[in-house]
Structures are given as C-alpha cells and as structure tokens.
Structure 1
Amino acid sequence: MTAQRRVWIIGASSGIGQALALQLAAEGAELILSARDEGALRDLAQTCGGAEALPLDLADPDAAITAAVTALSGRPLEAIIFTAALYEPGRVEEIEPAFLSELITVNLTSVFHLAKAAPRLLRRGGQLVLFGSVAGYLGLPSGQPYSATKAAVANLAESLAVELAPRVDVRLVSPGFVRTRLTDKNRFNMPAILSPEEAARAVLAGLRGKGFEIHFPRRFTFAMKLLRLLPYRISLALTARIAGRG
C-alpha cells in the first residue's frame, strides 16, 4: 500500500486505528476515518489535517455499511482497514446475552457486510485489511467470546483471500498484546506488549510487503503459533498453566 492514496480506517478513534491514521496522515495519505465516537473522530480528523470524518455505528452493520458505500462511491479507495472491536474479559457464565450479541455483531457480522461491499469501493488490487488477533490462535480462559470472533475473522479472511483475488488483496493482521483501552481491562501479565504506535508501524510495513498475515511481535506470535500446532493434550495442559490452573 502506498501512502499517497485514499484509505478508509474503521475503528479510527483510538488504539491501533488512531495510530495508523496519524502515521498515514504524516505520510500524506488522504484519509476517511470512521468510528462510533463522533467527538473523538472529528478531533482526530482535524489533527490529521483535513481527513474526512465518517461516523459509523456498527450495531446495525447493514445500514451503516450501506450508508458508507453511498458516501464513498465515486473515487476508488486504495485500502480499507477494519480495526473496530469490542472486548470484555470474563468467564463464560458472566457474559450478558445483550453484550454477547453486540460483540458478535461488531467483531464479526460487520466484517461480512464490509467484505460484500469492498469490491465496489476498492480500486482493482486494493487492500481489504481485517484485524484478527493472536487471541484467536487458541482458546484461552476468560477471553471468550472475543477470541472466538477473532478466530472466525481469521477463517473468513483466509476464505476471502482466495474468493476475492485478484480483484481485492485481502490481508489479515494478528497483533499480540497492544496497550489500548481494551487491553487496559486485563488483570494479568501481557508479555511483549507494544504501544499502538509500534503496532501501527508493524502493520504498515507488512502492508507494503506481500505476505497474507501480518503478525507481531514475532517473538510472541511464533510461540503462540507453535502452541497451536501441539497435540491438544499438551496445548490444553499448557493453557491451564497459563491461566493459573495447572
């Protein structure tokens, strides 16, 4: 992805999305920024030197994405970057049904609606960038349903990479721990945690390369990939130790 193009960032008001917006703006990209927090979004658009603020409430993804497609039609985009997500740690019996429904809608259902719209918005060969997570590599206690939705996003991205090629260049981003308002909710040690700025630099470097998955920091993500490859009797025992139950 080159910086001197139109880029739409969904989930831009904080965290990695905000850091990506600031770095791309510094490089001269023309940005369309979306999030539910309209005030924070407009402040960021002003900081990014005239970026377009396009408020988006993914609680109703069909209506939101349809309206966005209408607003953005005309000039093709170089990339669409979807970083939006909800997260709340806790045991499965503690999850409120209403929040569960909202989380699945924002984290997963919205991605389906976006994937359907992407070919109409992107230039040929433009990038659709979907955010999974290292949390989706392996089911971890107190991480559901976030981890489950991120595993599903990774599966969907794999399918789309084949289904939409070569019209759309689908990429999957799998971050480790990044210091954001979501990870601030965690009450456990987060190894190899990065700042949003470090994460954004890793994402942009990956998008300028050819690889399907962009995962970082490698010293952590490779260990998690290895854990996923082990037989369940070993990986689940290690997971129990990680969770303090071994």
Structure 2
Amino acid sequence: MPEGRRSGGPNPRRSERIWLIGASEGIGEALARAYADRGDSLILSARTEARLHVLAETLPGSHDVLPLDIGDDQSIAQAQLAMRSIGPVDRVINMAALYDPGQVEELDLQRASDIVRVNLVGTLMVARAAVSVLRPAGQLALCGSVAGYFGLPQGQIYSATKAAVINLAESLRIELSGRFDVRLLSPGFVDTRLTQKNAFAMPGLMTPEGAAQAIVRGLDRRPFEVHFPRRLTLPLKLLRLLPYALAFPLTRRLLR
C-alpha cells in the first residue's frame, strides 16, 4: 500500500494506489487527472496503450500503464497477472463501456454482442480480478448509468447491460460485505464521444470534469450509489416506481 502523504493540514490524507480502467478518454481520463492532482498513484488501463502513455506523461506524479481490453478474456488474465506484481491497490474503478444507439430493426447484431460482452461480461470479469488485487477493505466501483434505471428507446442493449450492472453491483455489495467496499456509479448524461452519438437533447448534460469531481466526492463518502446530476437522477428514480401506464408516457416526453 502506498505510504506517501499529502501535506497542508492537521490530518493529511494518505495517498492511494488506484487501478483505473477505461482511463484513456471521457470520464475515465478526467478521473485520472482528478486523482493524480490530489496525489494518488494510478495504474491506467484501456484498450489504446498510446493514449494511456500520453495521459500518464501529462499527469503529476508517477503512474503505471497497463493495456487492457475488458472484452477479451486473455487480456483480463494478463492484466490480473501483471497487477499481482504491482501489488495491492486501494481502489479498482471500472469506467470502460461501449454504446451504439439506434432503432431495434437497424441494430448490428455483432455490435450488440460486443456491447453485452464489454459492458456486462467485462464488468463481471473486472470484479472477479479486483478481488485478487484489492487490499482488505479496498473499494471496487462499477459504472452503471441512469440508462439502467428504465429502458430508454434507441439505447436498448446499452440500457439492458447497465441495468444488469446495477443488479451485479447490488449482488456483490452483499456477497463481498466485510471484505471489500463495493460501490455503484450512475452518471447521467456526460459530454463524451459516446453521448455525442445521441440525436436528442440531453437534460442535465455535464462535462467529464464535473462528472469526475462528483465521482471522487461520492466514493470518499459512505453511500452505496454515486448518482448525478440529482436534478436528473431523482426524477428517473421516481419513474422506476411509477406504474407503466404513467412511466411510458413520461419517458416519451423526456426524450422527445
């Protein structure tokens, strides 16, 4: 475990060792910058190794680069083996995901399979690997989405996988209780390469930097779920509680 401490107060926080997956762009990149700025040491993972090296060179401090495709079993096994030589970490945060909206009759079935493989199966494989690399009582954060609260049109496969990730995180929270601190991240709309594919107005749209700050604050606190922005997430949580006769018309209005 890292021994460094930041100065500047009566109770300086201990710097942490964090394995950040999906770090090459979007929220993941912004998270890397936020954690590095507060003195933490990162293991940066994503499919694109070159981007990770560029990112690592621009961050304060010293950080490791570990290429990883969570949609590939062999890649996960190799990364898990490499992590054992790096040593135990304080947090594992998985932000990697695929998204490709469209009408159901226009879906590319191979692409749909890839989304399921990365978003759901890959997240499960990350959780399985995290158990072997986290320190006792370390934190595992899995990224769901507000799209997992309720089925959204033109995001069928993505919404379904994120609903499954929510369920998975809930299961692991109970299963790993007393061993690890399992958390669920539920971002709303964040301005990234993925959401730029959307053809509708996105309420409560945030910057990746704003999302990263919400995640950093949330993971330092006690609640199981970190969801934001609340002006979007709270109405969507209410939507889940409504009868379908009311929920479906409200969803249509939201995305019109």
TM-score for the superposition, normalised by structure 2: 0.92
Kindly indicate whether residue 210 of structure 2 is the aligned counterpart of residue 190 of structure 1. no
Q: Which residue does 2:17 correspond to in 1? A: 6
Identical columns (%): 54
Q: Distance in 2 between matches of 1:177 and 1:111?
A: 20
Q: Distance in 1 between matches of 2:26 and 2:232?
A: 20
Once the two structures are TM-superposed, the CA of residue 58 in structure 1 deviates from its matched residue by 2.5
Q: Which residue does 2:135 correspond to in 1? A: 123
Within a 5 Å distance, the mapping from 1:1-246 to structure 2 comes to 4-49=15-60, 50-60=62-72, 62-74=73-85, 75-244=87-256
Once the two structures are TM-superposed, the CA of residue 243 in structure 1 deviates from its matched residue by 4.1
CA contact (8 A) 2:17 2:42 kept: yes
* Superposition misfits of 4+ residues, deviation over 4 angstroms: none
Q: Which amino acid aligns with 1:86?
A: L
CA contact (8 A) 1:78 1:126 kept: yes
Q: Which amino acid aligns with 2:126?
A: L
Q: Distance in 1 between matches of 2:132 and 2:193?
A: 33
Once the two structures are TM-superposed, the CA of residue 3 in structure 1 deviates from its matched residue by 6.3
Q: Which amino acid aligns with 2:145?
A: S
CA contact (8 A) 2:119 2:161 kept: yes
Q: Distance in 2 between matches of 1:83 and 1:243?
A: 25
Once the two structures are TM-superposed, the CA of residue 193 in structure 1 deviates from its matched residue by 0.7
Q: Distance in 1 between matches of 2:120 and 2:14?
A: 28
> What SS class does the counterpart of residue 145 from structure 1 fall into?
helix
Once the two structures are TM-superposed, the CA of residue 65 in structure 1 deviates from its matched residue by 1.6
Q: Which residue does 2:7 correspond to in 1? A: none
Q: Distance in 2 between matches of 1:195 and 1:19?
A: 9
CA contact (8 A) 2:30 2:209 kept: yes
RMSD over aligned Cα atoms? 1.2
Q: Deviations over 1:120-144 (max 9, x none)?
A: 1000110100000001100011011
CA contact (8 A) 2:67 2:79 kept: no
> What SS class does the counterpart of residue 57 from structure 1 fall into?
coil
Task: Figure out how many residues of one structure are paired with residues of the other and give that number.
Answer: 242
Q: Distance in 1 between matches of 2:101 and 2:14?
A: 36
Q: Deviations over 1:163-207 (max 9, x none)?
A: 011111100000111010001111111111110001000001011
What runs of 5+ residues in structure 1 fail to find an aligned partner? Answer: none
Q: Distance in 2 between matches of 1:115 and 1:34?
A: 15
Q: Distance in 2 between matches of 1:13 and 1:193?
A: 21
Q: Distance in 2 between matches of 1:239 and 1:99?
A: 25
Q: Deviations over 1:53-100 (max 9, x none)?
A: 11112231x212211111111421000000000001101111111111
Q: Distance in 2 between matches of 1:204 and 1:242?
A: 29
